[in-house]
Amino acid sequence: MTVETHSASLHLVDPELRAALDAFPTFDLNEDLLPVMRAQGFGVDVPPPQGPAAGVAVERITVPGRDGGPDVSCLLYTPPGRTGQSGAYLHIHGGGYVLGDAAMSELSNRSLAAAIGCILLSVDYRLAPETRWPGAVEDCYAALGWLHANANRLGVDHQRIAIGGESAGGGHAASLALVARDRGEYRIRHQHLIYPMIDDRTGSTVPALPYAGDFVWTAASNAFGWSALLGHPAGTGEPPRNAVPARVEDLSGLPPTFLGTAALDLFVGENLDYGRRLIAAGVPTELVVAPGAYHGFNGFAPDAAVSRGFNSASLEALRRAIG
């Protein structure tokens, strides 16, 4: 594991976010490190839920795969005291397409479901490189279909189903929105993209913006994650349709979007460009950039002022969409 203690952009990091870098050292992910990371678990230890989040019921369910595909394991979150119909949020976890599971986001998903009063379904999609594109997005599509099929039983308004995720989860969510648009089976009210991983060229065949990507998720890790998902070197060739959202020419007809990113994140350039292109395509888009922040900052240092502001904007956007 490569640990970075100094970088060209350290002086730009918000002072309240610096200590968290020591708890989550920067590494360059590769095929040798991947099994070690999986064995150790990806993420940080979190305290048990408190307050309203503690009252949210969590159930492990199995969703039938699409068109004979394998069944999909998911976590279903149900807040207490619901009356009438509510919205629903399909959550897709991060992990560079190769790490993580639905359980790693349990505390934040409990909190979100309690704050909005919505049903939340988090998908344990299949990981790369064992499963290449489009396996993971088909898992997410199956979960989206299950939400629609079971909306009445769950007390969910069919017209208020949103999708979203962080990092690779945001990338899968952006792909899912494109796939759903093209198939025309299920309506999506809103896509919620938190520093999404949406361009395989970043850091491989296209340089990242200056000062971006020094911390947490590097260009080398990014190239590894994308190569694992696509089955060929990142940034090369013509990717399958909708596999790389930033390389999809037509973004029209996508759902209203919240896109949050960070000024020092490797993804900031691709995120800003995607937001610009969504706006140009007539998609209602809210774009938030956290200054002095790196990839995953709001989870690593949630009490920092910049994290509180970012998380508040994210929550309010989702509440407006489905609350």
Residues carrying an active site annotation? 167, 265, 295
- What is the rounded CA–CA span in Å between residue 207 and residue 190? 30
CA 168, CA 165: separation in Å to the nearest integer? Answer: 8
HSE at residue 262, side-chain half, CA atoms within 13 A, is 33
Q: Which residues of 16-52 are buried (b: 16+ CB within 10 A; e: fewer)?
A: bbeebbeebebbbbeeeebeebeeeeebeeeeebeeb
H-helix segments, the chain: 15-23, 33-40, 106-116, 135-149, 151-154, 168-183, 219-230, 268-280, 297-300, 305-322
For the record, the structure tokens of 211 come out as 């000062």
Give me the sign of the Cα torsion angle 216, 270, 92, 110.
positive
Other residues' Cβ atoms within 10 Å of the Cβ of residue 135: 18
Q: Specify the 3-state DSSP secondary structure of 274.
A: helix
Identify the bridge partners of residue 257 per DSSP, sorted by sequence position. 191, 285
C-alpha torsion angle, residues 61, 127, 218, 277 (rounded to 10): -80
Q: How far apart are the C-alpha atoms of 278 and 253, rounded to whole Å?
A: 10
Q: Taking the CB of residue 273, how many other CB atoms lie within 10 A of it?
A: 13
